[in-house]
Amino acid sequence: MTANVGYWYNAQIRTLILHTQRLFSNFYISNGLNDNGEEDLRRVPCVFMSTDKSALNLINNNTDTVIESSPKMVLTISELRLNNNLISGSPYHEYISDFNEKKFNEDLGNYEYELGNSQEIKRLNPLPIGIVFKLYILTTMQTHKFQLFEQIRMLFSPTLELQTSENPLDWSRVTAITLTGVNYSSKGTSNLDSSQLDAMDLTFEINTNLDAPALISYNTLVENIITEIGEGNVVEDTLSWGEGDSIRTVHTPTNNYITVTDNNILTLQPNKNITNWYQLLKYYGINYNTNKENVYVHCLITYDIDKKKSIYGPIKINERNSTQAFWNFNQELLPSENLQPIDAIINPHDYEPSNINGERYLLDESIGNNTSIWGTLKDLNGNTLEKIDENCIIEYKDGYWTLMLNPKEQPAIYYVRDLSDAKYLYSYNEDYNIWYDVINKKYRSGMWRISYI
């Protein structure tokens, strides 16, 4: 006896067809130059070929004498695969995720910077499927065929990603489509004089998943902690969903603050309630596992003078000193350096350089000309300088120490990497005439947080 599971349909294959069709709907061919000397461009339509006879009759106005138009592209499904070899685990295994929504203002129709509903979402294992698409390029001119093929081929090397959903819990929200084959022409040497349109066909394959319905239950919000800090954009960054947060439970830390040193050492400053990382994670009910990277720390850094963004990565608690944790944050989240790296930040009166071409330093004090250590100072034009000010970057070039950058005279937003052991990233603040460390500093409560996978 089969249980009554009820009716449901999420149009997942249809959605994938529409996104694939949209992918090929913005290509153009050129018919040469028009009277104004400009390219005469024509957009080539892409239609999905349906086997629905009723739909075909409507399109053809109930007649079989329809003149074919060209150029055009026709998309169709040539094969649907079960991909049973890609099934992972039991189809009845449940994945449980907890989410906190922003509070929605019904009157204004937008979200506010307050916590709203708390939800628990249970999902079943998805079932894999494979779809093979055929894209037919119908043309009457060989040059049109070449134009379209070159444009499409440049997109696939051989894979392109399709995003069909913005739902972070959708198993198939990002799907890869792969170009696997091409047939140059549908005409053979025996039917070159045929009135049939010549068709090049391309084969594309997609391996994706079918999602089962998810069970959503609303939780009671036990604790609501919001720390107001500075401007509103900081609070938004602290509470909103960002990259990497979509399937994590986010916790606001207690009144502890942390200090980051050497780019990857997090030191938790104890208070009367929480004295180490283990106690902090236990306080929030987080099951820390030394063999899994399931606890993430997020820190708000300042960039471009007054903007803020979150950098994050998994932590591993130091077993010898539980107030410290090793932090492996995602380096790609950092601002990109726009200056050549320096070898060190130095006090020029206490440091003796090697005088090797390419040596670069950032000065924390000014230096005068013709000293016994630094010799004659030059600018980029070869002119002799009386001194080089602090916060400048110098480089040894062609036998002289040369001024490469004076940020006070060339104000801009600068990022430079220090090639010392810690590989610090520094930025320049022209308002205070200082270079500051982007990462290594103290993060007070509200400027950092914990998430748990």
What digits encode the pLDDT tens for the residues 130-180? 999 999 998 888 889 899 999 989 888 888 887 776 666 666 677 888 999
Q: What is the DSSP letter of 440?
A: S
Same-domain status, 167 and 269: no
Same-domain status, 289 and 428: no
Range with lowest mean pLDDT among 53-57, 217-221, 222-226, 344-348 = 222-226
Same-domain status, 159 and 34: yes
Same-domain status, 170 and 239: no
Question: Taking phi first (over 0 means left), then psi (-120 to 50 degrees means alpha), and beta for anything else, what does residue 146 get?
Answer: alpha
What does each C-alpha distance from 168 to 117, 233, 242, 305 come to in angstroms?
17, 23, 11, 32
End position of a domain, from candidates 184, 210, 236: 210
CA distance 221 to 340: 49
End position of a domain, from candidates 181, 210, 239: 210
Same-domain status, 239 and 283: yes
**What's the pLDDT score for residue 378?**
92
Same-domain status, 328 and 370: no
CA distance 287 to 113: 28
Asked whether residue 94 is domain-assigned, the answer is no
**What's the pLDDT score for residue 330?**
86
Question: Would you place residue 212 in the very low, low, confident or very high pLDDT band (cuts 50, 70, 90)?
Answer: confident
Beta bridge partners of 394: 361, 403
**Which is higher by pLDDT, 44 or 234?**
44
Asked whether residue 180 is domain-assigned, the answer is yes
Looking up residue 66, the CATH number of its domain turns out to be: 3.30.2000.40
Same-domain status, 355 and 428: yes
Same-domain status, 53 and 201: yes
What percent of the chain clears pLDDT 90, i.e. is strictly above it? 22
Asked whether residue 6 is domain-assigned, the answer is no
Q: pLDDT tens across 415-452, in order? A: 999 987 667 888 887 777 788 888 999 988 778 888 87
**391: containing domain:** 344-437
**What's the pLDDT score for residue 451?**
83
Asked whether residue 260 is domain-assigned, the answer is yes
pTM above 0.85, yes or no: no
Question: Taking phi first (over 0 means left), then psi (-120 to 50 degrees means alpha), and beta for anything else, what does residue 62 get?
Answer: left
Same-domain status, 358 and 381: yes
In the chain, the number of structural domains is 3
Average pLDDT, the chain: 78
Same-domain status, 53 and 154: yes
Asked whether residue 106 is domain-assigned, the answer is no
Between the two ends of the chain, the Cα-to-Cα distance in Å is 39
Same-domain status, 243 and 384: no
Q: Are 446 and 227 in contact (CB under 8 A)?
A: yes
pLDDT > 70? residue 247: no
The number of C-alpha atoms within 13 Å of 90 and in the hemisphere containing its C-beta is 4
Asked whether residue 319 is domain-assigned, the answer is yes
**What's the pLDDT score for residue 258?**
92
437 burial via Cβ count (<10 Å: 0-12, 13-18, 19+): middle
**Which is higher by pLDDT, 283 or 362?**
362
End position of a domain, from candidates 175, 210, 245: 210
pLDDT > 50? residue 209: yes
Asked whether residue 219 is domain-assigned, the answer is no
Alpha-carbon torsion angle 21, 23, 29, 34, nearest 10: 110
Question: Would you place residue 228 in the very low, low, confident or very high pLDDT band (cuts 50, 70, 90)?
Answer: very low
Same-domain status, 308 and 185: no
pLDDT > 70? residue 58: no
Token duo for residue 452 = 């748990």
